[in-house]
Structure 1
Amino acid sequence: MARPTLSLLFLLSFFLLAFSFNAEDPELKTCKHHCRQQRQFSESEKRECELRCEEYARERREYNPRREGEERERWEGERNPYFFDRESFQHRIRSEHGSVRVLERFTQRSELLRWIEKYRLGIMEANPNAFVLPHHLDADAVFYVIQGCGTLNVLREENNRESFSIRKGDIVRIRAGSMVYLINHDDNEKLYIAKILRTVSSPGVLREYFAVGGENPQSFLRSFSSEILEAAFKTRRESLEKLFRHEKGAIVKASKEQIRAMRRRSSEGGSRWPFGESSSTFNLLNKRPSISSRHGQLFDADSGDYRELEDLDIQVSFANITGGSMMAPFYNTRSAKFAIIVGGEGYFEMACPHVSGEQEEGERSERGEREERETEERESQEKRISYQKIKSQLSHGSAFLIPAGHPVAIVASGNENLQLVCFEIKAKDNRRLFIAGKDSILKQLEKEAKELSFNAPAKEVDEWLGRQEEKAFMAGPEHRREKRIPVNSILDFAGF
């Protein structure tokens, strides 16, 4: 009996020692949470796992106490449910001539994002002279052409093929179920397209349906029996099988002759404006910017500019923030904003009241104490209102989400301009309200309201609010490239 007693005392003393370092260490908290969630572990294995987490946390602090602030900054980025790095976009289609990548389902990242689970973000890349095979999606889509030019064809019903040229800055609406195919007719430049997808079947579940194809992608016609296909196409089985044997992929290379022929037929067919602009596109960059200064420009288009956006209630915008500048803290009254970084580097900071609550929810999810949890949250909110700082580095190919009402600031690095393509849902009647700058909403407070709110004379408040004379875009904080410390994750240490 002596051996178990000594072991128990050792474990207890080790636990108390580790707890004394910092009970609020968020990385330690999550590591222990992961230990408890491992169903294949016995209770003794779960305790051992937690002890390993505490041991690593203790060694980390003893080795370099100054690192705590930097580790906390790194941790903010890792637990950020609103940020998605380039690896979060998963390949749905890939060949040597291009690819289509789609962001993971939002509910895979966090239950906080269930309210937008029917939306997905995507990026398409087509190499010069590449052709994307005809297919349709079970989703409404809005495209924004980031770079390049091409010809887009949309088949909606019998004898109704809409063909039009697309180029940088174009916005295109594609209705769910429409068969689409396109070609990059440039000899040198890639065609890049960003898109937002609103699924129409199962929320967040996206499916591509290729009518033609070989092994990859496989034509959905191959799912039907030979008898059905022979009767439907009035063609023998042997002839049909020849059409389904190639393995070129969903994006293939077209010849010069094929490209010229398709461009010629596109110019001859489809619905077009008398002056050559497609009736189904709107070029955002041809519109005058809604905000412009030496620190940045903002272009945006809603249903008033492009009628096809109306039923989706979506706005599309492009922001170009000058290197070293920033977009002042602001929030949207109704819209949630999805932003994809298409150029430059920088970071964003956002105030969020939900993140810590989500962690507590995760720890108690297995007990199913929903009513108790909601009661505790209400009581917590009544006691104290607080916010978590959300911060992440931004680079080409990454994306982030700004929910409605969440104040956010976006900063460009000093090296180059930070460029963002943004899709905003619930755009109708939305207002973008800035907290700082020439048009700060706080300036609208009455004298008495300013004195009561800031506990200072209104004159001092006015002086403080009036110091920043720039509107929306302004000089950012001094930029320094933050170096990430090459330490192993605490979760790796614990065996995950």
Structure 2
Amino acid sequence: MAMRTKLSLAIFFFFLLALFSNLAFGKCKETEVEEEDPELVTCKHQCQQPQQYTEGDKRVCLQRCDRYHRMKQEREKQIQEETREKKEEESREREEEQQEQHEEQDENPYIFEEDKDFETRVETEGGRIRVLKKFTEKSKLLQGIENFRLAILEARAHTFVSPRHFDSEVVFFNIKGRAVLGLVSESETEKITLEPGDMIHIPAGTPLYIVNRDENDKLFLAMLHIPVSVSTPGKFEEFFGPGGRDPESVLSAFSWNVLQAALQTPKGKLEKLFDQQNEGSIFAISREQVRALAPTKKSSWWPFGGESKPQFNIFSKRPTISNGYGRLTEVGPDDDEKSWLQRLNLMLTFTNITQRSMSTIHYNSHATKIALVIDGRGHLQISCPHMSSRSSHSKHDKSSPSYHRISSDLKPGMVFVVPPGHPFVTIASNKENLLMICFEVNARDNKKFTFAGRHTHINP
């Protein structure tokens, strides 16, 4: 009896040691057959060695060896299955992560970063012009505004932006600084001053130059381009007049014979004219030159005629809504004094949300909002039915829509788009007011619908 007990304890401790060894390392080889397992061979060899064991003890010992071996195989198989499942899960996660990276643009189709989505077209010591990529390059969901482009002009103090014209209608908004626009006609140059908040429409093909008349501050102009060419929607070009090779004059494409005949000027004078300006399209000028370019009389706004002021200031206009949480100012197609807004089917809005406040959740019935953050920081959330997550499809009936939250922090220079029917909310940060200027496209007959409040647009 004592011998059997000693045998059982010896086998028990051997099995226990071997079992823990396999649990710790989890090693197994599927290709090994039973008699090749070194632990099984060792176990059976030990059962056969002691001469004092009875045949019954040896059978019990061998049975326990077989039982341990089966347990070991089952455990190894379990570990193998867990390892395989873990690898498959890690592989799926990597694939999903890669897919999310490829779809990153579509995950935020309405958000445009200043440092990622703007292209620098012109850059000199005097300033630069940056153009936002085509909206449809970001997402096919923005096909409705494919023909609109947004550009930002920055010009240092006392700089001159060379004369040019565009093959697009242009709406200027003066974000910061004091400018002079020179609109060139055959008989005269109309000079118009712009203050911060001023907006003006420049018809396609109108030659113009720009001057930053401020002695200290930079000039920042937002320009909404609406190309007129039906063959190249969403593309616009600028054409520089005579007077230089940097920027290159549009007339340089013509032969000298044609230029001499058309301008009634000898070739030598034309060559001298073309060599006059080679400082780039934005360059510094003197204080005396700035004064010479400033308006000296009341403007008549020659493209339309009449003694009327061509620009209006949205900052000084009476707000549509104003309370302790912010202010909303709108100028739209229904404003009889602004016929160009009617023709372009455009509404211009300025929103100033007080710090720690937010707009109510609302949406436009017809208009697509193109918003530029001009100051402050905040947060944006949009509800979108086109970007439903993969998990949403598994939880909901495919016949019913599901909605994806598109969100982003906001800072100066960022642009976001809100299509019609899409509820959204903008929130100011705890420390700064959030200021935005918005171009609302297809604004005729547009209505704003809110989900909170009776008449107010801005809530705490």
Equivalent in 213, 220, 225 of residue 197 of structure 1 = 225
TM-score (ref. length: structure 2): 0.74
Residues in 2 aligned to 1:213 and 1:24: alpha-carbon distance in whole angstroms? 58
Amino acid at match of 2:409: Q
Secondary structure in 2 aligned to 1:436?
coil
SS of 1:241 mapped into structure 2: helix
Q: Would you say the 8 A contact 2:299–2:307 is kept in 1?
A: no
- The counterpart of 2:246, out of the listed 216, 219, 225, is 216
Q: Which residue of 1 aligns with 2:43?
A: none
Whether 2:182 is the aligned partner of 1:153: answer yes
1:474 aligns with 2:444: no
* Gap change, CA 1:221 and 1:410, over 3 Å in 2: same
State the Cα deviation string for residues 115-146 of structure 1 (Å, max 9, x = none). Answer: 21100111112221111111011111111111
Give the distance between the partners of 1:390 and 1:336, measured in 2 at CA: 16
CA distance in 1, matches of 2:121, 2:156: 16
2:388–2:402 contact (8 Å) kept in structure 1: no
Q: Secondary structure at the match of 1:286?
A: coil
CA shift, 1:279, in A, is: 2.1
- Distance apart, 1:160 and its partner CA: 5.4
1:398 matched to 2:427: no
Evaluate the alpha carbon distance shift between residue 388 and residue 238 of structure 1 in structure 2; reply closer, same or farther with a 3 A threshold: same
Q: Deviations over 1:321-371 (max 9, x none)?
A: 1111111110000000000010011110000011249x9xxxxxxxxxxxx
> Which residue does 1:247 correspond to in 2?
278
Contact 2:178–2:193 (CA under 8 A) maintained in structure 1: yes
Are the counterparts in 1 of residues 174 and 198 from structure 2 also a CA contact under 8 Å? yes
Aligned residue in 1 for 2:290: 259
User: Does the residue aligned with 1:355 lie in a helix, a strand or coil?
Assistant: coil
Unpaired segments ≥5 residues, structure 1: 1-9, 35-74, 360-376, 440-470, 476-496
Which residue pairs with 1:178 in the alignment?
A: 206
**Of residues 121, 125, 133 in structure 1, which corresponds to 2:150?**
121
Q: Alignment partner of 2:137: what SS?
A: helix
Matched, 1:236 2:266: yes
Q: 1:205-232, CA deviations, whole angstroms, 9 ceiling, x for partnerless residues?
A: 1111111353432111111111111222
Residue 409 of structure 1 is matched in structure 2 by 425
The 2-side partners of 1:221 and 1:381 are apart by: 63
Letter in 2 for 1:172: I
Deviation track 1:231-262 (CA, whole Å, cap 9, x = no partner) reads 22222323222233342111122222222122
Cα distance between partner residues in 2 of 1:203 and 1:179: 22
Q: 1:123 to 1:172 in 2, by over 3 A?
A: same
Letter in 1 for 2:327: Q
Deviation (angstroms), 1:382: 5.5
Aligned partners of 1:163 and 1:256: how far apart in 2?
17
Distance 2:134 2:376 in 1: 26
Rg larger in structure: 2
1:445-476 residue CA offsets vs partner (Å, 9 max, x unmatched):
xxxxxxxxxxxxxxxxxxxxxxxxxx32222x
Aligned counterpart, 2:325: 295
Q: 2:193, 2:295 within 8 Å by CA — same for their partners in 1?
A: no
Q: Equivalents in 2 of 1:278, 1:125: separation in Å?
A: 28
Residue number in structure 1 paired with 2:139: 110
Q: Which residue of 1 aligns with 2:387?
A: 355
CA 472–268 in structure 1, closer or farther in 2 if over 3 Å, else same: closer
CA contact (8 A) 1:330 1:407 kept: yes
Contact 1:165 1:278 in 2 (8 A): no
Output the CA distance in 1 between the equivalents of 2:399 and 2:269: 74
Structure having greater relative contact order (Cα 8 Å, sep ≥ 6):
1
Query: How far did 1:432 drift?
Result: 1.1
**Secondary structure of the corresponding residue to residue 360 of structure 2:** strand
Over the aligned positions, Cα root-mean-square deviation in angstroms equals 3.0
Match of 2:439 in 1: 423
Which of 215, 234, 238 aligns to 1:187? It is 215
Cα displacement (A) at 1:412: 0.9
Q: Is the 8 A contact 1:160 1:270 kept in 2?
A: no
Aligned pairs, number: 369
Q: Quick one: which amino acid aligns to residue 450 of structure 2?
A: F
Q: Distance in 2 between matches of 1:253 and 1:277?
A: 32
Give the 3-state SS of the residue equivalent to 2:315 in structure 1.
helix
The one-letter code matched in structure 2 to 1:217 is: P
The residue number in structure 2 matching 1:227 is 257
Please point out which of 359, 370, 390 is paired with 1:327: 359
Secondary structure of 1:163's aligned partner? strand
TM-aligned CA deviation for residue 83 of structure 1: 0.4
Residue segments in structure 2 that go unaligned for 5+ positions in a row: 1-79
Q: 8 Å contact 2:176–2:220 — kept in the other structure?
A: yes
In structure 1, what is the Cα distance between the partners aligned to 2:459 and 2:298?
48
Query: Structure 2: how far apart are the matches of 1:80 and 1:20?
Result: 26
TM-score by length of 1: 0.68
Q: Give the Å deviation of 1:419.
A: 0.5
Q: Which amino acid aligns with 1:472?
A: H
Q: Could you say if the C-alpha distance between residues 381 and 162 of structure 1 is closer, same or farther in structure 2, counting changes exceeding 3 Å?
A: farther
**Does 2:451 correspond to 1:435?**
yes
Q: What does the per-residue CA deviation read over 1:99-124, in whole Å, with 9 as the maximum and x for residues that have no partner?
A: 21110011211122122110011111
Contact 1:344 1:419 (C-alpha < 8 Å) held by counterparts: yes
Q: CA deviation at 1:417?
A: 0.7
